[in-house]
Amino acid sequence: MIIEKIKKIYKSDKFPIYIFLFILAIIHININLEGDDIWFSTCCQNTTFFDYMVNRYQTWSSRILIEICFVMFCEFLPLYIWKILNIAMFYLLAYSISELFIEKDKRKYNTIICILLLCIPLSMLRSAGWVATMNCYLWTSATGLYAMIPLKKIAKNKNITILQAITYILATLYATNQEQAAGILFIVYTIGIIYLLKIRKIKINKTKVTIFINYLIVILWLILILTCPGNSIRKVQEEDTWFPGYSNLSIIQKLVICITSMMSFMIDRILFLILVILLACSIYRKRNEYNIIQKVIGYSSLILTSLYKCIIIILNIINMQQIMDNQIFNIARVLIYGLILATIGLSLIVIFKKEKCVLAVLIYFCGIISRIVMLVSPTVLVSGERTSTFLYLSFILIEILLLKDRQGEPKEENET
């Protein structure tokens, strides 16, 4: 009996995810509170929990639900409970990606999904403390993707049960408490609802009304974020602490700072390298279908990235830091970064057709915007790489689409 159950688990489409969770469980054994987690572990010692949360909303942040989790897991609950829930969030993330993008060969693609998720640097997901960073970025990513599943179900003309609707609503409530996730969900739900109602002309019955409840939640959270007094106060304090004079910079200067800080991390990450290689491979595989301009666009992101990295390596070897600090070199650096980002987007337009093209470009756009929006914050530099979490996840989603296209997967009907 036990052997049969083991065989059943092994043959399951979710077996790669179970292995993924086992690896995560090992990693979580030695996780302890650090960074901001330590501060949250004592924040209610001289005040009540309710008074603390009211004060945080009035003077620091609109992330009410997220901050409740910070305090509960860091101060009031054993850390092992958070570890179990955090591993569960990794499962939710992998499951949601699979549900949204994979119809066939789920075992194979679940393996790919888990491998790509393991490429997300752990140093990024602990930079402000394990609990603080994971709850703010991983948990909102997982719940945010899960909150998109109703759009896929309705596009496939599938009904949504009451229990499923409740879980989607709860996921949306948590995800949209984070500003980047709220912006992404607003874009996705706006385009998704227009697509379903105007293009697909799907009739929404009571089993499909979940998407409108979720859309309302997204809008209400965005209003709360924009009107929260604490966000405005925090921005002033953080500018004084981390980047004096940031508000006096022009939008162009802020954009340059945002892009250079983003690319300085991104261009060294394996997820980015996989992306530009897959783009070039996709162009090469169908090279007879493209003209010379399309080929140049498709290969450009890989070529530009390779050349730039070679130049940086050479300059570091010969110890020419003065050249890298030169203003002309910095201008050239920004131009190269811009060309890489632009050619990636254009490559997606070249490679994918019709609805798949719209989907791929939308994913890329949401990923880039989620990081570019950091230009409004004086912590654009000090926040570091963790604010690129949603961008890295967009790379993973695009890589899955490219691999599906490379395998010649038949076009799925009603694909969103």
Burial of 140 (0-12, 13-18, 19+ CB in 10 A): buried
CA distance 219 to 211: 12
pLDDT of residue 127: 86
Tokens of 217: 């939640």
What is the rounded average pLDDT of the residues 312-317? 84
CA distance 176 to 171: 9
Q: Specify the pTM.
A: 0.92
Q: 51-72 pLDDT, tens per residue?
A: 889 989 999 889 999 999 999 9
Cα R_g (the chain), whole angstroms: 22
Q: 12-36 pLDDT, tens per residue?
A: 888 999 999 999 999 999 899 988 9
- Mean pLDDT of the residues in the chain: 90
pLDDT of residue 18: 92
Mean pLDDT check: name the lowest of 23-32, 153-162, 333-342. 153-162
pLDDT of residue 408: 60
- What is the amino acid identity at position 259? I
What is the rounded average pLDDT of the residues 205-221? 89
What is the rounded average pLDDT of the residues 295-304? 94
Closest by CA to 116, choosing from 399, 345, 368, is 399
CA distance 278 to 371: 22
Mean pLDDT check: name the lowest of 112-116, 118-122, 314-318. 314-318
Closest by CA to 66, choosing from 163, 180, 210, 162, is 180
Residue written as token pair 């469980």: 25
CA distance 239 to 261: 17
